[in-house]
Amino acid sequence: MTTALGIDIGGTGIKGALVDTRTGELLTDRVKIPTPDGGEPQDIVNTVIKLIEKLGGVDKDVPVGVCFPAIVIGGKTMSAANVSKKWIGLEAEKLFEKGLGRNIHFVNDADAAGVAEQRFGAAKGVKGLVILTTLGTGIGSALIYDGVLVPNSELGHLEMGGKDAERQASFAAKERHDLSYKQWAERLQKYYSMVEFLFSPDLLIVGGGISKHHEEFLPLLELNAPIIPAELRNNAGILGAAALAADGNALVITPATEKKK
């Protein structure tokens, strides 16, 4: 099956589309609905049901992948940084399966984005350690070594100056503190220097909607590894969740071949 539905649950919006998982192309328009206030589990499930209706429904044999901003272990959400604390320890995959009346694949949102970039975007064919970070409501991360995902890395919660890094350096932090790109880049410099010191990546990829404006801040950063914008931007979560669902195994990743850059 090469067609799959990808759904990306974020702190502010829930997005979904049908995807051709061979090519990474969207087969429908992307539907987006605001995340319900409070981010409570059942409200989010109900919004996903609404989203599928808006897409005109999806055949029962189409695989469905859902990505979510939390540590996901065996279908359970083990953290909740920008959604209701009720997600912590919840059998989230089962809750969605009950609500949608079908099997789904459930995965961390940044891991899904990393898988998408590895298959269809900026990390395709890159050997060694790729670290993708998404700069959005929080900071998500995906570690990919020789094409294989090391799931649930949570590098947005590294400590920076005694505080959670994502509170200071995410795109939401830029907005919250009304930072110019230059001021934000100073915080990003501290953040990525720390990530680089700890992990010595071969490539850093920066995703999230704001990566569209990468010329405004990536050239201001000085790092040893190349730091480049994600190619799939806001569709990465959808594409990665759909691709993993189509695999039928959340941890099967296409191996890297040769170095791209």
Residues 133-152 that bind ligand BGC (CB under 6 A): 134, 136, 138, 140
* Residue 41 vs 136, nearer CB to ligand BGC: 136
| C-beta separation of 217 from 204 below 8 A | no
235 binds ligand BGC (CB under 6 A): no
What is the C-alpha to C-alpha distance for residues 61 and 246, in angstroms, rounded to an integer?
11
Torsion over CA: 173, 212, 243, 250 (sign): negative
Q: Does 109 bind ligand BGC (CB under 6 A)?
A: yes
Helix (H) or strand (E) holding 142: strand 139-145
Residue 215 to residues 52, 104, 185, 187, Cα–Cα distance (Å): 35, 37, 11, 16
Q: How far is the CB of 61 from ligand BGC (least distance, A)?
A: 29
Judged by CB under 6 A, how many residues of this single chain contact ligand BGC?
16
Residues 12-41 that bind ligand BGC (CB under 6 A): none
Least distance (Å) between residue 208 CB and ligand BGC = 8
Q: Is 156 left (phi over 0), alpha (psi -120 to 50) or beta?
A: alpha
For the segment 55-84, give every residue that binds ligand BGC (CB under 6 A): 69-71, 79, 81-82
Q: What would the two tokens of residue 246 be?
A: 């189509």
- Is 172 one of the binding residues for ligand BGC (CB under 6 A)? no
Q: Which helix (H) or strand (E) holds 132?
A: strand 129-135
Residue 242 near residue 30 (C-beta atoms within 8 A): no
Report the relative pairing of strands 159-160 and 163-164 from DSSP bridges.
Answer: antiparallel
Residue 156 in the binding site for ligand BGC (CB under 6 A):
yes
Smallest separation (angstroms) from ligand BGC to the CB of 127: 24
> Tokens 């891991």 — which residue?
111
Tokens of 176: 């919250």
Closer residue to ligand BGC (CB): 79 or 234? 79
Task: Classify 151 as helix, strand or coil.
Answer: coil
108 binds ligand BGC per the rule CB under 6 A: yes
Question: Which residue lies nearer to ligand BGC by CB, 81 or 241?
Answer: 81
How many other C-beta atoms can be found within 10 angstroms of the C-beta atom of residue 139? 29
Least distance (Å) between residue 2 CB and ligand BGC: 27
CB of 110 or CB of 245, closer to ligand BGC: 110
CB of 149 to ligand BGC, least distance (A): 13
Q: Does 154 bind ligand BGC (CB under 6 A)?
A: yes
118 sits near ligand BGC (criterion: CB under 6 A): no
Q: Which residues of this chain interact with ligand BGC, rule CB under 6 A?
A: 69-71, 79, 81-82, 108-110, 134, 136, 138, 140, 154, 156, 166
